[in-house]
Structure 1
Amino acid sequence: MFYSAGLPFHLARNPHFRGAFSYATNHLLSGYLPHGYNMLRTTLLQREKTNIKRLLIPIRDGWRTKGVSIVSDGWSDSQRRPLINFMAISEGRPMFLKSVDCSGETKDKYFIANLIKEVINEVRHEKVIQMIADNAPNYKAVGQIIESQFSTIVWTPCVVHTLNLALKNICAAKNVENNQLVYKECSWISDIASEVIIIMLKRFKLIKGGLQAMVISDKWANYREDDVVKARRVKDLVLNDLWWDKIDYIFTFTTPIYDTTPIYDMIRACDIDAPCLHLVYDMWDEMIVKVKATIYKHEGLQPTEPSDFSSFYDVVYNILIDRWNKNNTPLHYLAHSLNPRVP
């Protein structure tokens, strides 16, 4: 009960908790006493840990023949402590390795590289095929350190995270020819991750009528809690048909509301447990072609016409290619060449 429900060990000291068990034992199982605090945090905990390790033995044994990928990602817990989590994945069977509290530490390339080297050595480097991590600048430097010390390990930036960053850059760059993007103008969500912004915009569409009724009410006119200027700006945007048209335009190549949703489809295709590395090369090319067709159609241009040029597509294309160049490795080419579907 303590381990599955996540109950704190000091609950065993609670007199009401002990009284409940005493009542139950007196009426049903006379003489029974619940486990004490010390036993829960020592003997029984070690026994449960040993049991879990035993259950994980078949997964670990498969690493010798199948190889294993180490996945790392940053996180923050409920107490806002910065954590770096490590997981091992082989044949779609993920296994949590450990979580490191980085409070008070400078997460530079040397610190992160040392953490990763410890994990690789714990797993045994001859079993590790690749290391999957963030594609931030410091992680790129970490990748160079790891590949120099472990020549058999391939450093692979996370494709999904890369596309999310590209998506954010695309949206932020939508100020071509003074055509500002919707959430670039909305200061209250400008610093949120790109995928969350898209979800918020979808929600805006669903409650469009309610938003417009809210901003034209007398209560909104008397808004003074945060910023009067921002409140006025929000009202102007919510009542602006052009603003809503821009949201619709964003959805045409980022979300599944429309038939043509190349960037969203690419993210969903990569964000699965099944192997997909051998498909990334073709999917990326198809995504760029679909993005171009969508943007050109919106602007009334022909993708095959040399004289037709879209400045917005040019920005989007450069962002996508830049992201591809940052995470593209020879492993993608090898997986692509071994794909039997490729002629």
Structure 2
Amino acid sequence: MMRSSLLDKLKGDINDHYKKLSDERKETGCTILCDCWSDGRTKSFIVFSVACPRGTLFLKSVDLSGHVDDAQYLFELLEAVALEVGVENIVQVLTDSAASYVYAGRLLMAKYPSLFWSPTAFNCISKILEDFSKKELVSTVLEEANAISRYIYSQAWTLNMMRKYTGGRELIHPNISKLVSNFLSLRSIMIQEASLKQIFSHSEGLSSIYSRGPDAQAFKSLLYSDRFWKSARETVSVSEPLLKILRVVDGDMPAMGYIYEGMERAKIEIKAYYNGIEDKYVPLCDIIDRRWNMHLHSPLHAAAAFLNPSIFYGLNFKVDSRMKNGFQEAMLKMAADDKVKSEITKEHPVYINAQGALGIDFAIMGRRLNAPEQLRLSCISSRRPVAVDETLKRDSFHAGAYDGIFLLAA
């Protein structure tokens, strides 16, 4: 009896939570999240979730086996989900960046002009790192770093010695994509350079049977190779700005307002590392631009950065034409009628010039302390207008790797 009562209560709580999230997305807008999974052989699934400021709600999963490369099938699937959630409630749809999803996403936007589609930021940045890894220097040092990790983790003695000298810190980073894990492992190896060299430099290591043999010799050869450590420092230095962005989009705060500026800053840091030598930094910056423009750059990212007070009001920040045009395009696309457009026109200079509540000391201090809500401006379908002064209030939702963007009513 008690078990039945508790189960009924739990079911009621879940239904109440479901209803609250369903009602909220009608007011604030939502993001459709499409998470793809494959066993690498024949089975493929796609999991649909709906995210809004209050939380993320699982919608359903679909077996995609045999249809992964069928763009028309994927479009029809995305369309069915959009209609189920309500096209008028959706701000954007996020999917994988495979060609079939790209085509399906573009078909969806063509049929429903109020929607935005893009791949996730995590996916786009992973593609940039993948292109980096095709550079000879990077591919070589990543493989050598993997060889170091494989040797250490292949036997208990070397693993225990590594943990002894690193204070229990690990070199490998599971539970993320293999490529990103490779870059993070290289970074860990570089940080632990001195500790790793101690494994076979003390008497315990020198007398061990594990210090002999071809694998041990190859391991020691890499550990004392100046060329390896030089390549490791260079690779870590140029990949770290991108890994920083991954940490942001995989964190506990709304991330979209930081991606645009983060990508620009990454190029600046890479250029600075190479002291402005074009032959060094230009090829890498071209990779970033190509992937960014091909996959991720959209009016929403520009608008989110534009409406992020911590960025927009920064001393060194300059609004470029792409950001300005992106903001205007996003507003025009999402403003449903002349009344909403009129409100945007009125509120725009208030935000630009930090007038009213945006200019007081408390608000100025909050620019750096608080994460901004995403696009808290009156610009979506029939939702009622919101003052730009509200931009400094903070959300509590988790955007995670999907870098979701939401328009919130007061």
Range class of TM-score, shorter chain = 0.5 to 0.7
Equivalent residue for 1:245, pick from 225, 230, 248? 230
Which residue identity lines up with residue 124 of structure 2 in the other structure?
A: T
Equivalent residue number for residue 88 of structure 2: 126
Unaligned segments of structure 2, at least 5 residues = 150-176, 313-318, 320-351, 353-410
**AA paired with 1:118?**
A
**Any idea what SS the aligned residue of 2:254 has?**
coil
Question: Given the alignment, which residue of 170, 183, 189 partners 1:198?
Answer: 183
For normalisation by structure 2, the TM-score amounts to 0.57
Q: 1:101 aligns with which of 17, 40, 63?
A: 63
CA contact (8 A) 1:164 1:194 kept: yes
Distance 1:242 1:78, change over 3 A: closer
| Offset, 1:46 | 9.1
Q: Superposed, which structure 2 residues align to 1:7-86 within 5 Å?
A: 51-76=13-38, 81-86=43-48
Contact 1:68/1:130 (8 A) holds in 2: yes
Which position in structure 2 is the counterpart of 1:306? none
- 1:317 paired residue number: 285
Of the three residues 257, 262, 272, the one matched with 1:293 is 272
Aligned: 1:270 with 2:249: yes
Q: Do the aligned residues in 2 keep the contact of 1:174 with 1:312 (CA within 8 Å)?
A: no
CA–CA distance in structure 1, aligned partners of residues 99 and 220 of structure 2: 39
Mark the CA change 1:247 to 1:124 in structure 2 (over 3 Å): closer, same or farther: same
The 1:165/1:95 distance shift into structure 2, 3 A limit, reads same
The match for 2:407 is none
Distance 2:9 2:27 in 1: 29
Give 1:111-260 correspondences, 5 Å limit.
111-175=73-137, 181-184=140-143, 193-205=178-190, 206=192, 208-209=196-197, 222=213, 236-255=221-240
1:72–1:134 Cα contact (<8 Å) kept: yes
Distance (whole Å) between structure 2 residues aligned to residue 215 and residue 114 of structure 1: 64
Aligned to 1:332: 301
What residue identity is the alignment partner of 1:268? R
User: d(CA) in 1 for partners of 2:136 and 2:101?
Assistant: 28
Match of 1:86, SS?
A: strand
Higher RCO structure, 1 or 2 (CA under 8 Å, sep 6+): 2
Q: Which residue does the alignment assign to 2:364?
A: none
Residue type at the aligned position of 2:89: K
Partner secondary structure for residue 97 of structure 1: strand
Report if aligned partners of 2:242, 2:263 keep a CA contact under 8 Å in 1.
no
Q: Which has the larger radius of gyration?
A: 1
SS in 1 for 2:131: helix
Q: 1:145 to 1:212 in 2, by over 3 A?
A: farther
| Structure 1 residue 61 displacement after superposition | 0.5
When residues 287 and 202 of structure 1 are mapped into structure 2, their CA distance, relative to the original with a 3 A threshold, is: closer
TM-score, structure 1 as length reference: 0.67
Q: Which moved more, 1:70-79 or 1:44-53?
A: 44-53
CA contact 1:75–1:83 (8 Å) conserved in 2: yes
CA spacing shift, 1:107–1:211, aligned 2, 3 Å: farther
Q: Which amino acid aligns with 1:111?
A: Y
CA distance in structure 2 between the aligned counterparts of 1:92 and 1:294, rounded to whole angstroms: 41
Which of 260, 281, 296 does residue 281 from structure 1 map onto? 260
Amino acid at match of 1:71: L
8 Å CA contact retained: 2:36, 2:47: yes
| 1:104-158 Cα shifts (integer Å, max 9, x gaps) | 4444322322222222122121111110122222221111111122221100221
The AA in structure 2 aligned to 1:183 is: L
* Residues 219/194 of structure 1: CA separation in 2 closer, same or farther (3 Å cut): same
Deviation of 1:48 after TM superposition, in Å, equals: 5.8
The answer as to whether partners of 1:83 and 1:102 remain within 8 angstroms in 2 is yes
- Asked if the contact 2:145–2:185 (Cα under 8 Å) also holds between the matched residues in 1, the reply is no
Unpaired segments of 5 or more residues in structure 1? 1-31, 256-261, 297-302, 304-308
Aligned residues with identical type, % of pairs? 24
In the alignment, residue 292 of structure 1 is paired with which amino acid?
K
Counterpart Cα distance in 1 of 2:124 and 2:146: 24
Give 1:293 deviation, angstroms.
0.4
Distance 1:248 1:292 in 2: 15
Q: Give the Cα separation in 2 of the matches to 1:222 and 1:322.
A: 46
| CA apart distance, 1:56 | 1.6
1:174 Cα offset (Å)? 4.5
Count residues with an aligned counterpart: 277
Contact conserved, 1:113 with 1:146, CA < 8 A, in 2? yes
